[in-house]
Amino acid sequence: MSDVSSFAAARSARFQALANDGEIEALRNGQLSKIPDHWVGYCDRFTALDCTGLTQIVAVGHKWLSKCTNLTAVDCTRLTRLTTVGHWWLYRCDSLTALDCTELTQLATVGHSWLHKCTGLTAIDCSGLTQLTTVGEFWLCRCTSLTAVNFTGLTRLATVGYWWLYDCTSLTALNCTGLTGLVTVGDGWLAGCTRLTGVECAMLRV
């Protein structure tokens, strides 16, 4: 059996197991509180996701929406109870151009590779992430079309892993004055941002 066939068989078995456990029905009914690993990952024909019915979700596992290369829109407006997301969230979603995080007001922890290599992403609004404290490595790494980032609400963000905003070659300015709680940033922050002409860090104490 080929690697592709093996992966497809494994994914089919995984979804069947979820159906047998009643998790899919619970998700549809808005009763599921945690989404398992690999949920809607590697779906290259997937173009949009409406999360407005996921009002009870508090945690999502690894590889949620990872490598959905044709994904253009994600509606996160009702994920107001979400506190934790695992690794590879929205990793290599090349067609995604913007992400509104303003209503993810309870999100506290995100694993590594969040929005890593989203080459079509031009803007992200993080002003609603007022509870976010920790983000892993490769956050917004190699988002080569990124021109606008709003970090104004991230006053509790304390730790970001290495290669944050690495190789964002279209970014020309960055305002970090809202990151008043930031304590630790890993290596490679803003490395390779060849067009960056200014970073405002007047209130940043790292």
**CATH number, position 104:** 3.80.10.10
Burial of 87 (0-12, 13-18, 19+ CB in 10 A): buried
Question: Could you tell me if 3 and 45 lie in one domain?
Answer: no
Q: Return phi, psi of residue 3, to 5°.
A: -60, -40
Say yes or no: 26 and 42 in one domain: no
pLDDT of residue 204: 53
CB of 107 closer than 8 Å to CB of 113: no
172, 77: one domain: yes
Total domains in the fold of the chain? 2
Same-domain status, 3 and 92: no
130 and 181 housed in the same domain: yes
Q: What is the pLDDT along the chain (206 residues), one digit of tens a residue?
A: 444 444 444 444 444 444 445 555 555 555 689 998 988 889 888 899 888 888 899 999 999 999 999 999 999 888 999 999 999 999 999 999 999 999 999 999 999 999 999 999 999 999 999 999 999 999 999 999 999 999 988 999 999 999 999 999 999 999 988 899 999 999 999 999 999 998 987 555 55
Decide: 87 and 61 in contact? Cβ < 8 Å.
no
User: Token pair for residue 98?
Assistant: 């913007």
**Domain limits at 19?**
1-31
Do 163 and 105 reside in the same domain of the chain?
yes
Q: Verify that 78 and 114 share a domain, yes or no.
A: yes
Together in a domain, 64 and 165 = yes
> What pLDDT was estimated at residue 39?
83
Q: What is the pLDDT of residue 200?
A: 86
